[in-house]
A and B are shown apart, each in its own frame.
Chain A
């Protein structure tokens, strides 16, 4: 190619009092593959430079070679702890390009909200469990994964897979909720408050946990905005920006929920905000559950986008043709560009999508919340102990599938 990489400048300056230490990329507390080049003065961090890219899989490039429907499969793999958020955001953005946003059935929207909030709880469970392990509290992990297991069971019932259900579709959903799922959901809603009490009881008032997290990794509101931090980490710094409230989608404006905020901005505040968020999520789930008693369609009634019902294919020539066309060449999306964002468990997840009128996306640019949240580590790490670095990474909750894409 015409341009070559600049020769890497001296990343870290060396002097007599400090030394350079590479933390990771194989380190249990880096939640994936993150390398941090640290300049340390005895145990104090003088400068931290995170090196990312170890999990780069070229998802944005691959998506350019796939049909609009197929691209969603790879996109779901970005944030592997909250796959439905990615799929939802992508589907919403493509629907905007297609101009069918207001034709999505009500029931599909409700189930999307339900899935989005379930995936938020599941993702926060992983965060809480691993954050606990980072700090030496092993048992939290088992409680969290037990709760997450229940949610993954529901995901498996809807989409067929535990990790990447691929349940969202452009135009609606893959299918309606299976029989018996609502009863299981009711059981989950019923036992959730007790579960949350247990989770809070394990860590919230724990003096060791408080010692390790209070006043660690403090982000002031101005700094958080400068570093482009979003999601729970931003709200823990006192800024009540939540995409669900600021730019509502899927009818979030009709749900009654609060946006938990704290003003301290430290790791403990981020911990509390995420726990409060889980309570709010279950509130939204309860409201969505009540709306699901009335049956209805879950896919847009548009043969150019939605696959015809399987049973009609043998009976209707049109259905057969539509099915063949959609499978073999996909649907075409009118040219244009759009930016759409949702509140993923990690923050504002956005897709800037350009279509040139073809059956494949021309360009999909992700706004990855984890990338920007993790970048703030450069600002908050200096002046802290190495051991606290682990707390900071955990409290920012990065997912490397999304940081590196």
Chain B
């Protein structure tokens, strides 16, 4: 499948979280898939009562390919006033995951993980073992492919194969990634050929 979104810089730039010291107020941890479940269970016992969010990022070309990201919030039990809430602690768990591998579900620990895991499965194709109802959630049930993967064409597979209008091939050349998916070099090559042919 043609790729329109492969990051232009190879190597280090494919793993942005590792390049920079953390800039937000969360505690950041990197956990291996095998330790994920026990780590999250421990955090939940420790008072991280809320699974704020669960998402994924596709770093195509990196190994492991995916990062599944868990955001946890530590709240006092039943904080009825603003003072009791204070400044809760946020933890971000990054879990690197190879393609075609699966993660244990946490939907039994936090009910809210149910739809979040379904969404990650739907849009990235990452499976969660033990999830009670792992179906597509955003895309239609008969959809092929997982749209938020980086090798999924921006305009969808059907449109990607169709010929493009001429003007579409010229836009955004300066930006380095024309929507046609052709590289700047390919365009320059084409321009050069036209010029040589004309002279």
Residues of A at the B interface (CB closer than 8 Å) are 1-6, 8-9, 11, 52-53, 56, 58, 60-62, 64-65, 67, 96-97, 99, 221, 225-228, 238-242, 245-247, 259, 261, 263, 328-330, 334-340, 348, 350, 352, 354-360, 362-363, 365, 367, 371-372, 375, 378-379, 404-405
Do B16 and A354 have beta carbons less than 8 Å apart?
yes
Minimal beta-carbon separation of A365 from chain B (angstroms): 4
Minimal beta-carbon separation of B90 from chain A (angstroms): 7
> How many B residues are at the interface, by size bracket?
35 or more
* B46 interface residue (CB < 8 Å to A): no
Closest to B149 in A: A1
Q: A56-B138, A246-B87, A365-B55 are in contact. Are A336 and B20 (CB under 8 A)?
A: yes
Minimal beta-carbon separation of A403 from chain B (angstroms): 9
Given A3-B100, A5-B143, 16 new contacts (CB under 8 A): A1-B146, A1-B149, A1-B152, A53-B140, A96-B24, A225-B50, A240-B81, A241-B85, A335-B13, A339-B26, A352-B55, A354-B16, A358-B7, A358-B8, A365-B69, A378-B111
List residues of chain A with CB within 8 A of the CB of B25: 247
Minimal beta-carbon separation of B109 from chain A (angstroms): 9
Q: A227-B112, A228-B51, A240-B82 are in contact. Are A65 and B23 (CB under 8 A)?
A: no
Q: Which of B71-79, B162-170, B185-193 contacts A (4 or more CB under 8 A)?
A: B71-79
List residues of chain A with CB within 8 A of the CB of B174: 328-329
6 contacts between A and B (CB under 8 A): A1-B145, A65-B154, A65-B179, A221-B78, A259-B82, A354-B16
Among the listed B86, B135, B142, B148, which residue makes an inter-chain contact with A246, where contact means beta carbons less than 8 Å apart? Answer: B86
Do B100 and A241 have beta carbons less than 8 Å apart?
no
Complex CA distance for A335 and B16, rounded to whole angstroms: 5
* Contact residues, B78-123 vs A (CB, 8 A): 78-82, 84-88, 90, 92, 99-100, 110-112, 114-116, 122
What is the 8 Å Cβ interface bit string for chain B, positions 136-162, against chain A (1 contact, 0 not)? Answer: 111111111111110010100000000
Closest to B146 in A: A1
Q: Which 9 pairs show the lowest CB-CB distances between chains A and B?
A: A228-B112, A365-B55, A336-B20, A335-B16, A367-B53, A3-B125, A1-B145, A53-B138, A56-B138
Closest to B127 in A: A3
Minimal beta-carbon separation of A41 from chain B (angstroms): 22
List residues of chain A with CB within 8 A of the CB of B179: 65
List residues of chain A with CB within 8 A of the CB of B86: 246
List residues of chain B with CB within 8 A of the CB of A4: 144
Do B148 and A8 have beta carbons less than 8 Å apart?
no
Do B127 and A336 have beta carbons less than 8 Å apart?
no
Number of A-B contacts (CB under 8 A): 185
Do A1 and B125 have beta carbons less than 8 Å apart?
yes
Residues of B at the A interface (CB closer than 8 Å) are 4-5, 7-9, 13-14, 16-17, 19-20, 23-26, 49-53, 55-58, 69, 71, 75, 78-82, 84-88, 90, 92, 99-100, 110-112, 114-116, 122, 125, 127, 133-149, 152, 154, 174-177, 179
List residues of chain B with CB within 8 A of the CB of A225: 49-50, 75
Complex CA distance for A228 and B115, rounded to whole angstroms: 11
Q: A67-B175, A352-B71, A354-B16 are in contact. Are A246 and B88 (CB under 8 A)?
A: yes
Do B52 and A348 have beta carbons less than 8 Å apart?
yes
Q: A58-B147, A336-B17, A375-B114 are in contact. Are A356 and B85 (CB under 8 A)?
A: no
Complex CA distance for A240 and B86, rounded to whole angstroms: 10
Minimal beta-carbon separation of B77 from chain A (angstroms): 8
List residues of chain A with CB within 8 A of the CB of B90: 339
List residues of chain B with CB within 8 A of the CB of A96: 23-24
